[in-house]
């Protein structure tokens, strides 16, 4: 009976992964060839990071929806998966945070690794979760980047406000 339950779980996990990868094609605009090219690296990343394949596929959906190439998508997916494995949030939220920052600060050449490090530090030093930081910082990033305010300064300001008891959305308004 226990073996039947294990087999059922494996089948359900595989089915969820396939469903998420299909979303990458049907909704995010990736080609079937691109998805097939990324299938094995995604599964390998799942083993390396202990983040489930279907969760990784959710992050891949965010990246391909943002128009990332397969190489850039896999690089950013790995960084987001490492954040998620650290307990920084689910793959959707961590991927959205990293790719949003990289996009907003593309003229300043912000890398995914640098964005992740800043986000991790902001959550550690502030009084918030990544799920609260993502929508707050996303509202500010494009304007701050255009004005020459660094991503590090924006994140540090929000962390400082939240550490003082202000919620992340209000802190972003203050920025």
Tell me the C-alpha distance between 60 and 46, whole Å. 12
The pLDDT of residue 14 is above 60: no
Rounded mean pLDDT, 11-25: 79
pLDDT at 5: 45
pLDDT at 29: 85
Query: Which comes out higher in pLDDT, residue 7 or 56?
Result: 56
Average pLDDT value over all residues in the chain: 90
**Residues 118, 80 contacting (CB under 8 angstroms):** no
For 133-174, how does the pLDDT look when each residue is reduced to its tens digit (9 = 90+)?
A: 999 999 999 999 999 999 999 999 999 999 999 999 999 988
pLDDT at 1: 54
Tell me the C-alpha distance between 111 and 116, whole Å. 9
For 116-144, how does the pLDDT look when each residue is reduced to its tens digit (9 = 90+)?
A: 999 999 999 999 998 899 999 999 999 99
CB under 8 Å to 149, separation ≥6 — which residues?
none
**Residues 157, 175 contacting (CB under 8 angstroms):** yes
The pLDDT of residue 49 is above 80: yes
Closest CA to 91 of 60, 122, 116, 115: 60
Helix (H, G, I), strand (E, B) or coil at 27: coil
Write down the pTM of the prediction: 0.85
**Residues 101, 138 contacting (CB under 8 angstroms):** no
Rounded mean pLDDT, 43-66: 95
pLDDT at 174: 82
Closest CA to 111 of 75, 149, 69, 142: 75
Query: Which comes out higher in pLDDT, residue 40 or 15?
Result: 40
For 80-112, how does the pLDDT look when each residue is reduced to its tens digit (9 = 90+)?
A: 999 999 989 899 999 999 999 999 999 999 999
């Amino acid at each position: 009976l226990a073996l039947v339950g294990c087999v059922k779980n494996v089948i359900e996990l595989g089915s969820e992964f396939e469903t998420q990868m299909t979303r990458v094609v049907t909704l995010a605009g990736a080609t079937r060839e691109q998805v097939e090219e990324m299938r094995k690296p995604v599964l390998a990343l799942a083993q390396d990071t202990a983040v489930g394949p279907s969760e990784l596929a959710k992050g891949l959906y965010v990246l391909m929806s943002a128009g990332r190439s397969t190489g850039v998508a896999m690089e950013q997916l790995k960084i987001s998966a490492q954040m998620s494995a650290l307990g920084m949030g689910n793959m959707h939220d961590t991927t959205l945070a990293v790719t949003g920052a990289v996009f907003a600060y593309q003229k300043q050449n912000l890398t995914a690794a640098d964005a992740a490090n800043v986000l991790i530090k902001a959550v550690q030093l502030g009084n918030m979760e990544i799920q609260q930081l993502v929508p707050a910082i996303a509202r500010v990033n494009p304007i701050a980047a255009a004005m020459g305010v660094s991503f590090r300064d924006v994140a540090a300001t929000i962390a400082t406000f939240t550490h003082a008891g202000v919620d992340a959305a209000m802190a972003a308004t203050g920025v």
